[in-house]
Amino acid sequence: AQSVAQPEDQVNVAEGNPLTVKCTYSVSGNPYLFWYVQYPNRGLQFLLKYITGDNLVKGSYGFEAEFNKSQTSFHLKKPSALVSDSALYFCAVRDSQDAGKSTFGDGTTLTVKP
Amino acid sequence: EAQVTQNPRYLITVTGKKLTVTCSQNMNHEYMSWYRQDPGLGLRQIYYSMNVEVTDKGDVPEGYKVSRKEKRNFPLILESPSPNQTSLYFCASISRGGRTDTQYFGPGTRLTVL
């Protein structure tokens, strides 16, 4: 069975500082990993994904994520946080054999303070 | 414009009264999925569909039914709703092929069962 863990319920950073939102995963086979963001009272929006290739993945709004196979991690990062980045972030893993089956983490609330 | 629509957006109902939440996508995707979002539990997959007339259970299918009679629509049916099904529900349509593999989410349906 696949699983995703987001160990931090909440991450607080000051505007302009780098941010990291952590995610670890467990899958059998090759991992298909995703980050989604949910702004208040909105649906989820795709940020970025790792399927194969470079371990550093670049996505929307200046976000990037680093895939680390040995640590089974896929942490979301941004060099300089904005107040508008404040939102709920979800890490997700897709089954490598069954494209319809996805598992999401519990989410991490990011708050960026001016 | 590529989009996933859900109706209704808000629904208050009573225990045992059958209801259907509709979901429609205009992207010609084969895969579609339903999730529920609850505080502290992230998104949990209810059912997903790989194509017309092909569906499979997610992690929390109890109390729900789905159908996929045509490609664009994937309704979620609660035949006898109970208060523990009060939640925020999201439909997603999944692009596949090549390096896409992204979920597009609807705006959500907030359901309250009294």
Sequential DSSP letters for chain B:
---EEEE-SEEEE-TT--EEEEEEESS--SEEEEEEEETTTEEEEEEEEEETTEEEE-S--TT-EE--SSTTB--EEESS--GGG-EEEEEEEEE-STT--EEEE---EEEEE-
CB contact under 8 A, A45 and B99: no
The Cα angle at residue B79 between residues A41 and B56, in degrees rounded to 5:
75
- When scoring A9, A44, A45 by the number of chain B Cβ atoms within 10 A, the one with the most, hence best to mutate, is A44
Q: Please list every residue in chain B whose beta carbon sits closer than 8 Å to the beta carbon of residue A46.
A: 102-104
d(CA A88, CA B23): 23
Which pLDDT tens digit goes with each residue over A13-37? Answer: 999 999 999 999 998 888 899 999 9
Nearest Cα of chain B lies from the Cα of A105 at a distance, in angstroms, of 6
Which pLDDT tens digit goes with each residue over B42-70? Answer: 999 999 999 999 999 999 999 999 999 99
> What is the predicted pLDDT for the residue at B100?
62
Q: Does position B99 have pLDDT exceeding 70, yes or no?
A: no
d(CA B8, CA B108): 9
All residue ranges of chain A with pLDDT < 50 are none
> What is the predicted pLDDT for the residue at B24?
98
Taking the C-alpha atoms of A1, A102, B67 and B53 in order, what is their torsion angle to the nearest 10 degrees?
A: -80
- Give the residue, A54 or B98, on which the prediction is more confident: A54
